[in-house]
Amino acid sequence: MGELCFSLQYVPGSGRLTVVVLEARGLSLELAEPYVKVQLMLNWRKWKTSRTSARKGTAAPYFNETFTFLVPFSQILSVDLVLAIWARGPRLWAEPVGKVALGARASSQPLQLWVDMLAHAGRPIAQWHRLRPAGEVDQALGLQPSPGACPCLAPDSTRCRELPALTCGPVQAPRVLLQ
């Protein structure tokens, strides 16, 4: 599945959370144009999203791209940060390859990096992280509805009929068509 190296820095006075996506390694050579999506969640809801540019023809892309989010100190413990590698698969759809979730709800190494970032405010801390399956991370963060539930999160399927792009059925990872 691969690994992702990135650094985190938080400055409580200004509320700046800086994420530097450095590089990935161990990705499949079959993946076309991998990129990293950086998503900030607040209170279990998607809040802000950014992404790196895509890198062609490599299983070890180098990104070195910086993203800065304003997160007030009063909200830093309610925030989750999700970094996901996406790539175009054999069907020409962009699909998540794997994810890393950080924040107060994380566990093991990602939680330790989050704690270290808060304990050493203002200093960037970089580490490699093993990617986990996207569905596993989404379920842990409550991003996927329970099996059999409507993926558009409507209490019934009425909203799905109103939004033709969404259909009820088995939950699948979101797909984006690259042109």
What residues contact 149, with CB distance under 8 A and at least 6 apart?
A: 171
What pLDDT does residue 149 have? Answer: 38
Domains observed in the chain:
3-144 (2.60.40.150), 146-179 (no CATH)
Give me the residues paired with residue 101 across strands: 82
What pLDDT does residue 150 have? Answer: 40
The H or E element spanning position 104 is none
Report the distance separating Cα 118 and Cα 114, nearest Å: 6
What pLDDT does residue 144 have? Answer: 57
The low-confidence residues of the chain, meaning pLDDT below 50, are 145-179
